[in-house]
Structure 1
Amino acid sequence: MARTKEFDPDTALQSALELFWRRGYEATSVADLVEHLGIGRASIYATFGNKHELYLKALDRYAEERDPLLLSELSGPGPALPAVRAVVRRFAAEATSAPDRSNGCLITNTAAELAPHDPAAARRVEISWEHFETLLQSSLARARAQGELPEDRDPRALARMLLVLMQGVRIVGKTSGDPARVRDATEQALTLLDRGTNA
């Protein structure tokens, strides 16, 4: 009869996510994981696989935790443009004032650290960005159909611009001591959604 695990895999995965998010992939050793999770190396390997597999599982968990919030924010009834603006401003505020802002965004961090040479990590980053871009594009298309956005605006191009902006906001917010840098850039980008501005 198999032994019952002496730890909760779900809790352990969340702990691993937090450690990877704070320290990055390369700077986190298996010994660090053993100490942080409070479980043996053999248990980590038996439950999650090697360090890389555990990182990918943690990255999946990170996306699963955040995607429903974005979907909820961007797909509610009523005017669509205020919701888009609110999401962009939330990203900017979190990037400059959240207690864990120095961690940045795990997706963005992965894009910079692993994606250039790690196909599995790169695919997860791309899936996350595609999902976010699709949500933004859908909201902006709805805004245009409802007369909130001028007919000559391209929802796909605007969605891509906002996605790139928000990834940059995460990086600058993580390292800059000047919150106004992020705030000013965000507000300038949002003027592209104004009716009186030529796209």
Structure 2
Amino acid sequence: MVQKKKEGETTVPRRARGRPRAYDASDALARARDTFWQGGYSATTLDELGAAMGMNRPSLYGAFGDKHALYLATLERYIEVSEAAMNEVLASELPLAAALVRVYDLALALYYRSADAPTGCFLTGTAVAEAVDDEQVRTILGEGLRVFDRAFEARLVRARGSGELPANADAALLSRIASAILHSMGVRARAGDDRAQLRAMAEAAVAMICGGGMPGHEPK
């Protein structure tokens, strides 16, 4: 998914070694997210999370709850920040094609942020496996996917109204195609696909979407 750092910090008091300190809750969640992102939910231990976040177990429990609650919080935060970044780009005055390409470029920058190995998308890369047996993860995953659909759809509806898309273009269907490309890029990045190839795939998808959709398709 697409992610952009938000401005502003939230500080929450905690104790470490018996002395009061302040920590940045957003930064702590980002560190937890990166730890889950690297190892997956099941394989990541509380000790690894505490070390990454600079928190002992009592402080971690007091601030975020148990490991499961912390993981849910990282998923929700990832969706929130990604949605904000997408909406910022898609609400701009960029032409439709340029806006869509910009979203995909932001996603690729996130998926390939590691010089050692591409990380792909945090949401689909970790939550898909857990969603099979975890109803809360499944709910967050499903809503996250719909959040990205809605962001694309709002821009496509605007494009249809301004004449950038044909009047009969199915914005809902095209938004799901745009999302599918986004998620596929995340999976393929983690699987080792070349970044330039994924960029070319995104450009081809944008050309198809901006051409009005699938030939022969009649919107309902």
Question: What band does the TM-score fall into relative to the shorter chain?
Answer: 0.7 to 0.9
Q: Gaps (5+ residues) in structure 1?
A: none
**Whole-Å Cα distance in 1 between the matches of residues 41 and 195 of structure 2?**
27
AA of the residue aligned to 1:182: L
Which protein is richer in helix relative to its size? 1
Deviates more, 1:60-69 or 1:17-26: 60-69
Does the C-alpha gap of structure 1 residues 36 and 196 become closer, same or farther in structure 2, counting only changes over 3 Å? closer
Does the C-alpha gap of structure 1 residues 196 and 183 become closer, same or farther in structure 2, counting only changes over 3 Å? same
Structure 2 counterpart of 1:39: 55
Q: Percent identity?
A: 28
Structure 1 counterpart of 2:189: 173
AA of the residue aligned to 1:98: R
Give the aligned CA root-mean-square deviation in angstroms. 2.4
5 Å-filtered alignment, 1:142-161, equals 142-161=158-177
Q: Is the 8 A contact 2:148 2:179 kept in 1?
A: yes
Does the C-alpha gap of structure 1 residues 55 and 142 become closer, same or farther in structure 2, counting only changes over 3 Å? same
- Cα distance, 1:135 vs. partner? 1.2
**Whole-Å Cα distance in 2 between the matches of residues 157 and 120 of structure 1?**
27
Does 2:208 align with 1:192? Answer: yes
Which protein is richer in strand relative to its size? 2
- Cα distance, 1:47 vs. partner? 2.1
AA of the residue aligned to 2:34: E
Q: Is the 8 A contact 2:153 2:175 kept in 1?
A: yes
Q: Gaps (5+ residues) in structure 2?
A: 1-12, 16-20, 216-220
- Give TM-score scaled by structure 2 length: 0.77
Q: Is the 8 A contact 1:81 1:140 kept in 2?
A: no
Large movers: runs of 4+ above 4 Å: none
- Give TM-score scaled by structure 1 length: 0.84
Deviates more, 1:59-68 or 1:154-163: 59-68
2:114 aligns with one of 94, 99, 119: 99
- Cα distance, 1:126 vs. partner? 1.6
